[in-house]
Chains A and B, each alone.
Chain A
């Protein structure tokens, strides 16, 4: 019987059934960082347990690292204690750790793919909801809590119930100025922030076939924002080309065998899906969020929703709550909304292709007076490649601050924070209340090029107009 990738990977990694009816699922690759792992190591110590397969866990530091002044000790003693704890735990348990001095540090969801640790047909877990990013490679990649981080460390497994699979096709082509970020914001807007509960999202169709690995990662990254714990794309030549020659990728005969195996993990033609949704690429506009969850998005050409026009009581209440927090006016165009900060970074959009695409248009433009604009590469490797290509120069010349790798202002666990009720045009993934470090700070999610357009215009703008995008 034809099977989906999800079913194949799930079966191959099923250890057995637990008394609860859940599956004991083997986790092939475990990624850890400084925020959600120290308590798990503490639990191991309390239980007198060791790490079962230390060579299958990889660590880096991302959430709390400063992106400007990196010398240690960090000025924030709490952050300093966290990096020290991670170092200590990795050393004590023989876990590979990509530290600041390694040249391979970065946001954990950037590091796995870059190093070739993220591979098709595998199971991956990390104490971070954006672990779904790794699904771009045809892996089943799960965000987990700290108790489950403990479970993976101690047993290399977790207890989990199966998921249904929803196939999401995006057919045709995207219009100029429309990016992977717009695709996922559009999907979430269409299916809802909890539409994916109980599902793994399998993304496919012509748009995904043509997408680069980095574009696929952007979409898979935000699966969780649509309620889906897992999102993936079937592995293909694009996947294999990306992986070839990476530090942890197989080599020689092992590479050839791996490619055969990876190809076979892709969903079979005619396999069963619990649900199928088909969207047209041409219908997807450059999208901007106006509210306090990632489903509250509109086309750049649309006006901010009016609660008076909402039909359901629920919808009305959520629009009222969002507008009150965002200090935006119902019925006003989103275009032209003045911004204070432009943030280009995060595990959603801080890869080489993101900076390259923006640099292509940013040359010759200047960040508007009064706007603080920061560009934060997601990894040291991306930072290096941008420097080699002169991309950092383009950003600096335009008035952006060019920073070092980390999560930065996506969730502001480091010194990069909004102040007061600043409004931020952001390439990150969450516009929740207070997300960017100020309890009254406001976030508008959009693609990297739209962030650059907003930075240049001083307010939300249509990148197609600002930069004359029409390729």
Chain B
């Protein structure tokens, strides 16, 4: 199973501001009532979008200026709470290919990486600068360069950070580890045999 080498993502951006944005907010639980991940994009930030629409305003995801954005900006501890992979699935199915946030909750970060959704981190001030540039020009082209470890836009550069294991996995096309895990079959059997609770016959 050859995976794409994800070395950079180029596209337009959109900001969903705030810290501690949880996965219930990213995809409310009622959208999890399904046996596939199909159609999840429509549920992305559903309640937040509706609340803002009801207040007579427009959520960035519904703002035509940002249609087609591939890069999502947000704050600290993005994706906290429930482990639902439905959250990064919804983000990806909506059309995003990368997230730039100050920091991530761990399970969300791991789920995203395994799907090939790049979650990079940057300083708060840099994210604010990029967000302001997007607001001023929604058609601004942004490049998230995983190899060069920077985000480029409108002649500016901001440094990005990402856990090495995740960055390398994306860049080298190893982000979905199932193949490698399957290759370890014999070592798995050997490890299991050394553990009494796994080696013992099952009741």
Residues on A with beta carbons closer than 8 Å to the beta carbon of B182: 49, 154-155
Known: A197-B103, A248-B203. A321 touches B18 (CB 8 A): yes
- A432:B107 contact, CB within 8 angstroms: no
Whether A259 sits at the interface, judged by CB under 8 Å, is no
Whether B115 sits at the interface, judged by CB under 8 Å, is yes
Whether B196 sits at the interface, judged by CB under 8 Å, is yes
In whole angstroms, what is the CA distance A128 to B32 when docked? 13
Whether B105 sits at the interface, judged by CB under 8 Å, is yes
Residues on B with beta carbons closer than 8 Å to the beta carbon of A131: 83
**Among residues 97 to 149 in chain B, which have CB atoms less than 8 Å away from a CB atom of chain A?**
103, 105-107, 110-111, 114-115
In whole angstroms, what is the CA distance A156 to B200 when docked? 16
Interface CB pairs A-B, < 8 A, 12: A13-B191, A20-B177, A39-B37, A145-B83, A156-B188, A157-B188, A159-B181, A227-B106, A250-B200, A430-B82, A439-B51, A440-B51
Q: Which of the 9-residue segments A78-86, A167-175, A336-344, A453-461 touches chain B?
A: A78-86
In whole angstroms, what is the CA distance A412 to B28 when docked? 10
Whether A333 sits at the interface, judged by CB under 8 Å, is no
Known: A12-B195, A146-B85, A439-B28. A19 touches B180 (CB 8 A): yes
Which of A76, A128, A227 lies in contact with B33, CB distance below 8 A? Answer: A76
- A434:B114 contact, CB within 8 angstroms: no
Residues on B with beta carbons closer than 8 Å to the beta carbon of A82: 33-35
Whether A166 sits at the interface, judged by CB under 8 Å, is no
Q: Which of the 9-residue segments A22-30, A106-114, A233-241, A354-362 touches chain B?
A: A22-30
Q: What is the interface size of chain B, counting residues whose CB is below 8 A from a CB of the partner? A: 66
In whole angstroms, what is the CA distance A35 to B22 when docked? 18
In the complex, the chain B residue whose C-beta lies closest to that of A413 is: B29
Whether A212 sits at the interface, judged by CB under 8 Å, is no
Whether B150 sits at the interface, judged by CB under 8 Å, is no
Which of A22, A28, A128, A160 lies in contact with B195, CB distance below 8 A? Answer: A28
In whole angstroms, what is the CA distance A384 to B101 when docked? 47
- A64:B33 contact, CB within 8 angstroms: yes
- B83:A258 contact, CB within 8 angstroms: no
B143 to chain A, nearest CB (A): 24
B190 to chain A, nearest CB (A): 8
B110 to chain A, nearest CB (A): 7
A253 to chain B, nearest CB (A): 11
Whether A36 sits at the interface, judged by CB under 8 Å, is yes
**Among residues 16 to 39 in chain B, which have CB atoms less than 8 Å away from a CB atom of chain A?**
18-20, 22, 24-25, 28-30, 32-37
- A194:B77 contact, CB within 8 angstroms: yes
Known: A36-B84, A145-B83, A151-B178. A193 touches B77 (CB 8 A): yes
In whole angstroms, what is the CA distance A147 to B176 when docked? 9
Whether B162 sits at the interface, judged by CB under 8 Å, is no
- A261:B47 contact, CB within 8 angstroms: no
A163 to chain B, nearest CB (A): 9
- B203:A194 contact, CB within 8 angstroms: no
In whole angstroms, what is the CA distance A314 to B102 when docked? 13
Residues on A with beta carbons closer than 8 Å to the beta carbon of B80: 193-194, 227, 293
Residues on B with beta carbons closer than 8 Å to the beta carbon of A318: 19-20
- B107:A413 contact, CB within 8 angstroms: no
Which of B76, B172, B184, B191 lies in contact with A194, CB distance below 8 A? Answer: B76
Known: A38-B36, A430-B81, A432-B81. A47 touches B29 (CB 8 A): no
- A293:B35 contact, CB within 8 angstroms: no
In whole angstroms, what is the CA distance A201 to B160 when docked? 28
- B22:A38 contact, CB within 8 angstroms: no
**Among residues 1 to 46 in chain A, which have CB atoms less than 8 Å away from a CB atom of chain B?**
12-16, 18-22, 24, 26, 28, 35-36, 38-39, 42
Which of A119, A293, A437 lies in contact with B29, CB distance below 8 A? Answer: A437
Whether A229 sits at the interface, judged by CB under 8 Å, is yes
Which of B35, B105, B188 lies in contact with A81, CB distance below 8 A? Answer: B35
**Among residues 60 to 75 in chain A, which have CB atoms less than 8 Å away from a CB atom of chain B?**
63-64
Which of B35, B107, B163 lies in contact with A42, CB distance below 8 A? Answer: B35
